[in-house]
Chain A
Amino acid sequence: MSTDTESVALVGDETVENVVRAALFAALTGVFSYVSFQLPVSPVPYTLQVLGVFLAGVFLGPRWGFASLALYVVAGAVGAPVYAYGASGVGQLFSPWGGYLWSYPFAAGLLGSVAHGTGARTPTGEVPLWRLAAGLTAATAVIYAFGTVGYAYFGDLALFADPVRALVSAALVTAVPFVPGELLKAVVAVLAARSERLRDA
């Protein structure tokens, strides 16, 4: 084992804060994936996992939102029980539902960049509503696109032989039943972004 005694590269104050927030938002997304709720319009149990993705994009901005969800995916891959219903492991990334996991960092990054722009992060309470709505819509589209293609590919639905049928049947299973839940989570993300209690965040 080698010990580097030449120099110590301290992590800057602002970076420490961002690293810690990214890690805790990854853990929060993991905690949300245990919480499920039902809606009268659909028999599917929804988990709050995607709400974690939305909140990371809205509250951490593009760069650290992406980093936070990348951390979530890596932590789950090496055994932290953070995926849906407390699952974990590299195998999940290649399971039919794995496309969703791959999408999260990109969705959070995209949502962050639409909401905050590519420059300095706007205080969350001051992000215009249209930017939040556009970002949440784009993030949801990314999640469903990855999720559907991932399901058709990792579930061997003959994606290359008959792409239209494969993608439509994958979307029927993985995307359509979840739309009402996603709408609700987007509303909750907007309410949280506008909350007086989180004004200083």
Chain B
Amino acid sequence: MLSHAPGDTLGHRLDPRTKLALQSAVAAVALARPTPAWLVVLTVGCLLALRGCGLSVRAVYAEYRGALPFLLVAPLAGALRFGPPWVDPAGARGPLLAVYRTLLLLALAAAYVRTTSPRESRAAITRLVPGRAGRFLGLGVMLVFRFLPLLQSDLRRLREGSWVRLGDERRVDRRLAHLAVGALERTFRRADALALALRARCLSWNPTPPALAFARRDYAALGAAGALVAAAIAL
């Protein structure tokens, strides 16, 4: 699975806020102008971004291959008609472009994930969302990153325990309830221990934030994002 990898590419050196702004700009343009010409422009931009982050198209494809069947249902739904002739291929055009647009956005998201550490993301969120909501989201996102693998291994152990006791021969609702209750028990136990530890260490709403600063390349990238949005509005 794609995850953060340290490096020294242009993508790694950009400020996380710049990367979020670039993604948002491309998403806004792709949503507002889903025409083939604009999608070609955005494709070129995405390929450059992937290159700037040291990612190959093949790696991105391998990452999102599982989501493709779910995406490709959209053109079928678009072509469906409730009455003769039942299927209208022209209706599939819009959804097909929408699927392509989604693939571009997923590729950019992959570039962000590869080049941005959870700590940088936390700093960006804390600065972008004002006040305590931002602090809560920043702290919470760090905890999600930290506890995801632990809860995953809890759940894996629960399922393995259930399998070796022939739990998979039980009715599906009993099996899932057993899994849910076991997972909740462990989650509450972990939450209580963590809350105690955080209280003991005087968790505050205003810790010293990690350093983040815009460099010249960030202003250039933000300028490019602004120009893209302006062009989409003007043309």
Contact = CB atoms under 8 A, between A and B. Distances in A.
23 contacts: A9-B204, A9-B205, A20-B194, A23-B144, A28-B183, A37-B176, A71-B141, A78-B125, A78-B141, A79-B3, A81-B1, A87-B66, A90-B105, A91-B109, A97-B71, A157-B77, A157-B95, A165-B82, A170-B77, A185-B176, A192-B184, A195-B177, A198-B184
Interface string A159-201: 0000001001110110000000000110111011001011001
A19 B113 contact: no
Given A17-B191, A75-B145, A172-B77, A155 B184 contact: no
A91 B185 contact: no
Interface residues of B, number: 88
Most buried by B among A9, A72, A96: A96
Given A20-B191, A78-B116, A94-B105, 12 more contacts: A16-B198, A75-B141, A79-B118, A81-B148, A89-B105, A89-B108, A95-B102, A95-B105, A95-B106, A156-B98, A189-B180, A198-B181
Contacts of A22: 140
A88 B109 contact: yes
Interface in B188-219: 188, 190-192, 194-195, 198-199, 202-206, 208-209, 211, 213
Contacts of B27: 90-91, 94
B151 to A, nearest CB: 5
B153 to A, nearest CB: 9
B102 A96 contact: yes
Interface in B112-160: 112-113, 116, 118, 121, 124-125, 136-137, 139-141, 143-145, 147-148, 151-152, 155, 159
A192 B102 contact: no
A87 B67 contact: yes
B91 interface: yes
A157 B26 CA distance: 21
Given A155-B98, A157-B94, A74 B177 contact: no
B13 interface: no
A82 B148 contact: yes
A11 B204 contact: yes
Contact of B205 (A11, A82, A185): A11
Interface residues of A, number: 79
Interface of A: 1, 3-4, 7-11, 13, 16-17, 19-28, 30-32, 34-35, 37, 39, 48, 51, 55, 59, 67, 70-72, 74-75, 78-82, 84-92, 94-97, 151, 154-158, 165, 168-170, 172-173, 184-185, 187-189, 191-192, 195, 197-198, 201
A37 B172 contact: yes
Most buried by A among B64, B145, B205: B145
Contacts of A89: 105-106, 108-110, 112-113
A26 to B, nearest CB: 5
A75 B27 CA distance: 18
A27 B136 contact: no
Given A59-B184, A80-B118, A156-B94, A85 B102 contact: no
Given A157-B77, A184-B176, A10 B202 contact: yes
Most buried by B among A1, A27, A78: A78
Nearest to B4: A79
